Amino acid sequence: MRVGLLTGGGDCPGLNAAIRAVVKHGEGTYGHSIVGFRNGWRGVVEGDVLPLGRQHIRNVLPVGGTILGTARYHPNAEDGGIEAVMATLEAERIEALICIGGDGTLHAASKVAEAGVKIVAIPKTIDNDVSGTDLSIGFHTAVNIATEAIDRIHTTAESHNRVMVVEVMGRHAGWIAINAGIAGGAELVLTPEDPFDIDQVIKFLKHRHRAHANFSIVVVAEGAEPRRGGSMDFTTQLGRFGEIVAGAVGDRLAHEIAERTGFDTRVTILGHVQRGGSPTPTDRILGSRFGVAAIDAVVEGRTGVMTALRGEEVVLVPLAEVAGKPKRVPPDLIRAAQVLA
Ligand code: F6P
C-alpha cells in the first residue's frame, strides 16, 4: 500500500517524532511505502513528493521543525485546489493520506475526505486548541519554553522593580498563557477566553506594589483582548489564515500599564522561540504514539478520523466533529491562575 504523509500549518517540536513513527511502523510492520509531500497541502497540489524510507528518519527524534517542510496553504480555499489534490493522489497511486496539522490543515483534511480520499489526521499545534484531544503535538514543549522564559524574567523584574509583560502565542485560546503563567508564578494571566478589564489590571498592580511587592509579571496571550466598552480601545488584527501580528497586544498593554501606573514597565514577546528547538520527551512520545495509531487506523481502513489523547489512551475521533471548533481553556483552569495571583 502507498500511504501519503504531510505536515501543514505552523511547525512545532515533535512533528519529526510522528513522521518517524509513521515510516517505522508503516514500512517496518506492514511493508507499506510512505510518500512524503513537501510543504503541506501545497506539495500535494504541486505534486512535490519525497519518498520516505528508514534512511530519512534516522536521528530525527530530537530535532525540532519538520523534515517535510510546511506551509499555510489550504486547497479548499484555492480555485481547483481539491481537484489538483485528487489528480496528484491518483498519479502517485496514494491509497490513504496521513495529515499532521492544526485547525486549518484539519479543516482542509475533512474537505478532502468528503471528496472521497481516505484520510487519517494527527493534531499538532503549540496553541493546544484542537478539539477532541487532551493534547496536541508541540504544546508541552512550548509551555516548557515559556515557563523557563518567565522564570528568567522573574529575577530581572525583581532586581529592577519593574512590571514585565510577557506575550506568549495563542490566537483563539490561552493554553500556553495559563499553563506557563501558573508554572512560572505570574501575577496576572490574560487570555482570549476571558476579555480583560484594563481598569482592574491597573487597580490590581497599584495595590500589589503599594501593599507588598516591587515587581509584577503579566502574561498575555497574543489573542487576548480588552473587554468591549472598557477604557482601552484595542482589537486583534488577523491575517489571511487567522494568524496574529505578534507583539500587538503585548506592546499596547505594556504602554497602557506604564502610562496609567507610572511603573517602570518592559515587554518581552516570546514569539517563534516557542515553536523552535528540540521537543520534550512528552512531545516525542505523543508524536510517536499518534504516528503508530495513524498507521494502524489506515490499515484498519478507517477514514475521516483524527488520533486523539483522551486521558491515558490514544483513540480515534471523527474529523468532522473536531475541525473548525477551537478548544478553549476551561473556567477552573483560568480561575486557578487568577486566585494564585
Ligand atoms: O501555529 C500556531 C501559531 O504558532 C500561533 O500561535 C501564531 O499566532 C501563529 O502560529 C503564527 O503564525 P506564523 O508562523 O505564520 O507567523
10 touches ligand 1 (CB under 6 Å): yes
In the numeric block, the cell 501606573 is attached to 261
Which atom of ligand 1 is the closest one to the Cα of 241?
A: 15
> Which pLDDT score is estimated for 323?
81
Q: How many Å apart are CA 134 and CA 132, to the nearest integer?
A: 7
C-alpha grid cell, residue 255: 504602554
Neighbours of 322 (CB within 10 A): 23
Give residue 149 CA to ligand 1 midpoint distance, Å. 19
169 touches ligand 1 (CB under 6 Å): yes
E strand spans, 21-146: 33-37, 49-52, 96-101, 119-123
> Which pLDDT score is estimated for 241?
73
Per-residue pLDDT of the chain in tens (341 residues, 90 and over written 9): 999 999 999 999 999 999 999 999 999 999 999 999 999 999 999 999 998 999 999 999 999 999 999 999 999 999 999 999 999 999 999 999 999 999 999 999 999 999 999 999 999 999 999 999 999 999 999 999 999 999 999 999 999 999 999 999 999 999 999 999 999 999 999 999 999 999 999 999 999 999 989 999 999 999 999 999 999 998 887 777 777 776 799 999 999 999 999 999 999 999 999 999 999 999 999 999 999 999 999 999 999 999 999 999 999 999 999 988 899 999 999 999 999 87
> Which pLDDT score is estimated for 251?
95
> Which pLDDT score is estimated for 17?
98
Tally: H helices and E strands in the chain: 12, 11
Specify the DSSP class assigned to residue 55: G
Smallest Cα–Cα separation from 13: which of 221, 271, 284?
284
> Which pLDDT score is estimated for 235?
86
What is the end-to-end Cα distance of the chain in Å, rounded?
55
Q: Return the exposure string of 6-34: e unless at least 16 CB atoms fall within 10 Å of the residue's CB, then b.
A: bbbbbbbbbbbbbbbbbbbbbbeeeebbb
140 touches ligand 1 (CB under 6 Å): no
Give residue 83 CA to ligand 1 midpoint distance, Å. 28
Q: Is 127 a catalytic residue?
A: yes
**All domains of the chain, ordered by start, with CATH?**
2-138+279-322 (3.40.50.450), 142-276 (3.40.50.460)
> Which pLDDT score is estimated for 238?
77
Using CA positions, which residue lies closest to atom 11 of ligand 1? 243
Pairing, β 313-318 against β 305-310: antiparallel
Q: How many Å apart are CA 221 and CA 174, to the nearest integer?
A: 6
Known binding site for substrate: residues?
125-127, 162, 169-171, 222, 266, 272-275
> Which pLDDT score is estimated for 237?
77
Using CA positions, which residue lies closest to atom 10 of ligand 1? 10
> Which pLDDT score is estimated for 269?
97
> Which pLDDT score is estimated for 265?
98
- Tell me which of 66, 70, 127 to substitute to probe ligand 1's pocket, judged by most ligand atoms within 8 Å of the beta carbon: 127
In the numeric block, the cell 505536515 is attached to 7
User: Of 11, 127, 194, 296, which one is the catalytic site residue?
Assistant: 127
Q: How many Å apart are CA 330 and CA 240, to the nearest integer?
A: 28
